[in-house]
Amino acid sequence: MTRIRVTHALCACALAIASVAAASCRRPAPSTVRIRFGDLINVDVRDVPLRMAFDDLAARGYTVEKVYVSSSAMTTDLLIRGDVDIAMVNNQTVWTAIAKGAELRTVGPFTATTGVLAAGAAVQSCSDLDGKSVGAPGSTGLSPVLFRTYVERHCPGTQPQLVVMPEAQARTDALLAKRLDAAMLPGEELLKLQRGGKLPLHSLYDYASEFPDVQAEGLHVRRDWAAQHRGVLEEFLRAQLLAYRRVIQNPQVLYDESTRRLKIDADTAAAIGRSHLDMHIWDANGQLTDGNVQSTIDFLVKANAVPAGMKAAQVADLTFLNAVLDAIGREPPAPIAHGGRATP
Amino acid sequence: MADRARRWRARALSALALVAVWELTARWIHGLLFPTFTQTAAAFVQLLTLRQFWNALWVSHEALLLGFTIAAGLGIAAGLVMGRWPAADAFIDPYLAMFLVTPMSALIPVVILALGLKLLARTTVVALFAFAVIAVNTRTGVRTLQSEWLEMARSFGANERQLWRTIVLPGAMPSIITGLRLGLGRAFTGMVAVELLLVAVGVGRLILEYQGAFESGAVYAVIVFLVIEAVVLLRTLRAAERRLAPWAGLVATE
């Protein structure tokens, strides 16, 4: 009798364990899943929806560890070495690494670029840049390439003096001290300066409207990690797109979250948020397609910024993003920012 | 002679060990930003053939040369005056102490904003990096002169000019040269820091460009070149010290 009871008890235990195991097999056990996310140090309003997505992932049991690094090259190297799983880096840096043999892929969007060429009163048009000092984050990379293209398009023959200052803060300070006549800055930085009213600064052009189809930044992974963590990556992209849709549908959420997370005043948060939303920097469908990846590559090849012959399939794997879009549905496309011009 | 051979053997072994550790570590880490020794060596050879490299080196060394010369002139003068006259020391010392403890990298933006983005600002940054350590070592050299020497010279009727020429300057020479050696090291740091952190020109810009293109062998080749150059210059100063002050036995420190 006792033996039967013990047998029944053991069977019940085995059943319970099996049912728990079966339940956990249906969905990955998120509490055990850690995602190491590599990002650049400067967190601003552009990052807020992604931070909201991290909170959603955390609520579902994922642990998102943020690793902040000061340069795109270093972030890319961390990704290659497996010290981070997903990284937000500019596409050109990652694609250059891929051309050198790194097993990385672009899998998702970040935002449209918000960079602007901020200028003082002396520079009102492209041709005014002749002989003027222009602060740039680097002599290679996307920003100077875009700048050169802008000059070739609007005022060919104009010869600005490019002053390379890697730190955005340094360029801002030099612009305010009138040591520079213009500088490539994040759009948010210019907005803050304009609101501060320290100098009459304006945007000569913004990248998003001048180059609407150039995909400057994105989310990148190691190929082997993505293959082994397909579900995790899709959950990540899903949370990201849903957060983007939330702020697009309800801008107040963006303003409130920006105020709370970045410790900026509500008016500034709303002004920056409105500007970003007007430029459609967050895309409800993730913005990335094989077509615009290829056109970005073509643009970078033309500017000698990545090796010739590169194809979209070599650098991007959009199957994860497309699977998520299939699951959550696609939204109607947003109008082109500022009625922007055609892609180069 | 045997001693010398043993020392060279030890140095060669240490260099071999360094190369082996470097090569193995780089292969183990397997990142795009940490090249192997062999990649670096190949890039180094190629670097020496590039006009772009020599141009960059010239741009950087303009600031180094001018900045270090200014720092040496002002630092030695300030150190001599402070060491010789306590009143001057009391007047200048608080500022020198400030110079010593202030992280110079934090001053770079201020200098750039005040003086612009060109050679003047970079020269000033290099001079600021090197000045304090030269001044402090020079002062130490003067202060550690034995007072009996000065008293003896005075008792033989030496005037102030003769004191300087025969006792103060020769006596302080070893410390002055030690200060120059330390200052030169700091000047190199200042030169690269300003070019990497604020205005990317010269070798700093080259390093950033190579880093952005994942040409890590070339990044390290530039750094190795600067290290070799600095070591050669420091050894030259040491040789100058042996020639100018063969009596040097004491070593002043920062």
Q: Residue A343: is its pLDDT beyond 70?
A: no
> Do B158 and B208 reside in the same domain of the chain?
yes
Query: Quick check: B182 and B254 in contact, CB under 8 A?
Result: yes
Q: What is the pLDDT of residue B244?
A: 82
Considering the entire predicted model, what is its pTM?
0.78
A202: burial class by Cβ within 10 Å (0-12, 13-18, 19+)? middle
> What b-and-e string marks burial along A56-68, b requiring 16 or more CB atoms within 10 Å of the CB?
bbeeeebebeeee
Q: Residue B111: is its pLDDT beyond 90?
A: no
Mean of all residue pLDDT scores within chain B: 89
Q: Residue A1: is its pLDDT beyond 50?
A: no
> Do B15 and B131 reside in the same domain of the chain?
no
Alpha-carbon span A147 to B58, nearest angstrom? 28
B9: burial class by Cβ within 10 Å (0-12, 13-18, 19+)? exposed
Tell me the pLDDT tens digit for each residue of A310-341. 999 999 999 999 999 999 999 887 665 543 33
> Do B9 and B117 reside in the same domain of the chain?
no
Alpha-carbon span B127 to B104, nearest angstrom? 11
CA within 13 Å, CB half, A307: 15
Q: Residue A97: is its pLDDT beyond 70?
A: yes
Lowest mean pLDDT among A80-94, A300-314, B101-115: B101-115
Amino acid letter for position A5: R
Q: Residue B211: list chain A partners with CB under 8 A.
A: 71, 73
> Do B83 and B7 reside in the same domain of the chain?
no
Tell me the pLDDT tens digit for each residue of B193-226. 989 887 889 999 999 889 888 899 999 999 999 9
Alpha-carbon span B61 to B76, nearest angstrom? 21
> Do B210 and B122 reside in the same domain of the chain?
yes
> Do B88 and B147 reside in the same domain of the chain?
yes
Is A63's Cβ below 8 Å from some Cβ in B? no
Query: Quick check: A126 and A150 in contact, CB under 8 A?
Result: yes
Q: Residue B145: is its pLDDT beyond 90?
A: no
> Do B175 and B204 reside in the same domain of the chain?
yes
> Do B3 and B108 reside in the same domain of the chain?
no
| Closest C-alpha among A76, A84, A75 to residue A37 | A84
Q: Residue A18: is its pLDDT beyond 60?
A: no
Residue B10: what are its φ and ψ, rounded to 5°? Answer: -65, -40
Rounded to the nearest angstrom, the minimum Cα separation between B223 and chain A is: 17
Domain hosting residue B175, numbered range: 34-253
Q: Residue B112: list chain A partners with CB under 8 A.
A: 170, 174, 179
CA within 13 Å, CB half, B160: 3
Tell me the pLDDT tens digit for each residue of A65-87. 999 887 888 899 999 989 999 99
Is A142's Cβ below 8 Å from some Cβ in B? no
End-to-end CA separation in angstroms for chain A: 84
Rounded to the nearest angstrom, the minimum Cα separation between B180 and chain A is: 30
Nearest to B30 among A81, A141, A164 (CB): A81
Alpha-carbon span B53 to B49, nearest angstrom? 8
Query: Quick check: A254 and A188 in contact, CB under 8 A?
Result: no
Tell me the pLDDT tens digit for each residue of A192-208. 888 887 778 999 988 88
Query: Quick check: B40 and B220 in contact, CB under 8 A?
Result: yes
Q: Is residue A28 left, alpha or beta, with left meaning phi > 0 and alpha meaning psi from -120 to 50? A: beta
> Do B7 and B62 reside in the same domain of the chain?
no
Is A167's Cβ below 8 Å from some Cβ in B? yes
Query: For residue A27, how far is the Cα from the chain centroid?
Result: 28
Q: Residue B109: list chain A partners with CB under 8 A.
A: 170, 173
pLDDT category at B238 given cuts 50, 70, 90 is confident
Alpha-carbon span A127 to A158, nearest angstrom? 6
Tell me the pLDDT tens digit for each residue of B155-165. 888 888 888 88
Lowest mean pLDDT among A126-130, A280-284, A303-307, B231-235: A303-307
Nearest to A93 among B30, B209, B212 (CB): B212
Amino acid letter for position B234: L
CB contact under 8 A, A164 and B30: no
* Cα dihedral B83→B89→B93→B99 (10° resolution): -50
> Do B9 and B47 reside in the same domain of the chain?
no
Q: What is the pLDDT of residue A193?
A: 87
Q: Residue B115: is its pLDDT beyond 80?
A: yes
Is A185's Cβ below 8 Å from some Cβ in B? no
Q: Residue A16: is its pLDDT beyond 60?
A: no
> Do B23 and B100 reside in the same domain of the chain?
no
For chain B, the maximum distance between any two Cα atoms, rounded to a whole number of angstroms, is: 72
Query: Quick check: A76 and A97 in contact, CB under 8 A?
Result: yes
> Do B4 and B88 reside in the same domain of the chain?
no
CB contact under 8 A, B113 and A93: no
Q: Residue B200: list chain A partners with CB under 8 A.
A: 138-139, 164-166
Average pLDDT over residues B169-177: 90
Average pLDDT over residues A118-135: 92
- Residues in B lying within 8 Å of A, measured between beta carbons: 29-34, 109, 112-113, 116-117, 196-201, 205, 208-209, 211-214
Q: Residue A139: list chain B partners with CB under 8 A.
A: 200, 205, 208-209
Q: What is the pLDDT of residue B198?
A: 78
Surface of A (65-124) touching B: CB under 8 A:
71-74, 76-77, 80-81, 93, 96-97, 100, 102
pLDDT category at A230 given cuts 50, 70, 90 is very high
Residue B135's CATH number: 1.10.3720.10
A331: burial class by Cβ within 10 Å (0-12, 13-18, 19+)? middle
Beta bridge partners of residue A133, listed in sequence order: A161
Query: Quick check: B112 and A178 in contact, CB under 8 A?
Result: no
Q: Which distant-in-sequence residues (6+ apart) come within 8 Å of A120 by Cβ?
A: A175, A178, A181, A182, A199, A200, A201
Query: Quick check: A91 and A107 in contact, CB under 8 A?
Result: no
pLDDT category at A22 given cuts 50, 70, 90 is very low
Q: What is the pLDDT of residue A14?
A: 52
What angle do helix axes B2-29 and B37-47 make, rounded to 10 degrees? 100
Q: What is the pLDDT of residue A341?
A: 34
pLDDT category at B251 given cuts 50, 70, 90 is very low
Q: How many domains does chain B have?
A: 2
Amino acid letter for position B70: I
Q: What is the pLDDT of residue A29?
A: 46
Find the DSSP H helices in chain A.
Answer: 2-26, 48-59, 72-81, 91-99, 142-154, 168-176, 187-196, 207-210, 223-228, 230-249, 251-262, 266-278, 290-302, 312-315, 319-328
Tell me the pLDDT tens digit for each residue of A235-292. 999 999 999 999 999 999 999 999 999 988 899 899 999 989 988 899 999 989 999 9
Average pLDDT over residues A161-180: 88
Tell me the pLDDT tens digit for each residue of B15-36. 999 999 999 998 888 778 889 9
